[in-house]
Amino acid sequence: MKKLGFGLMRLPKTDPQDQKAIDIPQFIQMTDLFLERGFTYFDTAYMYHDSESERAVKTVVTSRIPRDKFLLATKLPSPYLEKPEDLERIFCEQQEKCGADYFDYYLLHCLNTRLYEKVSALGAFEFVQQKKAEGKVRRIGFSFHDTADVLDRILTEHPEMEFVQLQLNYLDWESPTVQSRLCYEVARKHGKEIIVMEPIKGGMLANVPDSARALMNAANPDRTPAEWAVRFVASLEGVIMVLSGMSNMDQLDENTRFMSDFTPLSEEENAMLFACAEQINKSIAVNCTGCSYCTTDCPKQIPIPAWFDLYNKEGKKTEKTVAFAADHPLPSDCIKCGKCEKQCPQKLPIRRLLRAATDALEL
């Protein structure tokens, strides 16, 4: 199968502020072009788009496309599980929402130290094995957001897991918190196939500073920053799929074009990208991917990723920040409860960064 997967976490919307407002006509056009160009892998999850992504899959994919023409992945939502009965209830709900008799790839979602202990106590590993035995799941694995030693523990204790989904990109390759390289090496040590998430880091690596773009253009002026980012991870041994959360037809058109003719990067090209990473890190205040996990339990409903995006792009009080502040809760509304930091896959010190954004944007 071709290595590019359609991540259904950042679908086009008719209202930019409403995660449920998925633009179904545009999603249909994107899906049809994706399949027409020979790509087959769709990745959704229980919580994406405020729990509407799986329903959109039924509307756009499973009700329109023959089941043998695509691969469907979704995830058992670890943060939402409270008791063993939730496993079967949510799985059946996902089947109904997706309109799927079976899932090609089924993952325990977003494992870290805390959630690993939780799903283990609830019997989630045994549950997904049971679903595979029943023919309702073809392959089982998990997505992961923690340090390499935790990943090594999980794969050692659960060799039945067939693949792991990791956040890999050239910006996070040597990150002490994300630990892309170290996690990749652990997965390879255990002989596991790898699915890549956040190859463009929530769009951050599609819009790089001029200093990084100059290095890329010197290496190959015909490649966009997004193409460099996706090619980096697709070139890694053991990577079977690279997910891209494509939000419009232009992004899908670009990604499917260059991944239709994929060639691995050279050592020199990889070195160039690591030099780009140094330039990018100098230019950004917050390494946020915009996943919005942090907003799930925020008692003040602060749109944290949006504020971090403005902090990165504006850096000071502007007409844009004032206009946004007029209609949304402010970073200064934070009560420092810390719920956001427990959910953040990037392990960002969100409370401190919100304070910094408040000061910089004069909110």
Domain count of the chain? 2
Above 90 in pLDDT, residue 228?
yes
Does residue 292 or residue 278 have the better pLDDT?
Answer: 278
* Cα 43 to chain centroid, rounded: 10
30 and 128 share one domain: yes
Which pLDDT belongs to residue 116? 97
Cα–Cα distances (Å) from 141 to 118, 144, 151, 242, in that order, read: 16, 10, 12, 15
Domain check: are 35 and 132 in the same one?
Answer: yes
- Please tell me whether residues 98 and 75 are part of one structural domain: yes
- Asked whether residue 288 is domain-assigned, the answer is no
pTM of the model: 0.89
How many residues are given for the chain? 363
Domain boundary among 264, 283, 302: 283
CATH number of the domain to which 199 belongs: 3.20.20.100
Query: What per-residue confidence (pLDDT) applies to 316?
Result: 85
Same domain, 186 and 62: yes
Domain assignment of residue 338, given as a range = 293-361
pLDDT at 293: 87
Q: How confident is the model at residue 50 (pLDDT cuts 50, 70, 90)?
A: very high
| 216 and 141 co-located in one domain | yes
Residue where one domain finishes, among candidates 219, 249, 283? 283
Paired strand residues for 108: 76, 142
Strand partners, 106: 74, 140
Q: Does the structure show a pLDDT above 90 at 98?
A: yes
The answer for residues whose C-beta is within 8 angstroms of residue 63's C-beta and 6 or more apart is 99
Note whether 118 and 241 are same-domain residues: yes
Q: What is the mean pLDDT of residues 312-327?
A: 86
162 and 52, same structural domain? yes
| 155 confidence band (pLDDT: 50, 70, 90) | very high
Which parts of the chain fold into alpha helices (H)? 24-36, 48-51, 53-57, 85-98, 113-122, 124-133, 148-157, 180-189, 210-219, 225-234, 249-260, 267-283, 304-313, 319-327, 339-343, 350-361
* Structure tokens given for 84: 């063993």
Average pLDDT value for residue range 137-159: 97
Mean per-residue pLDDT over the chain, rounded:
95
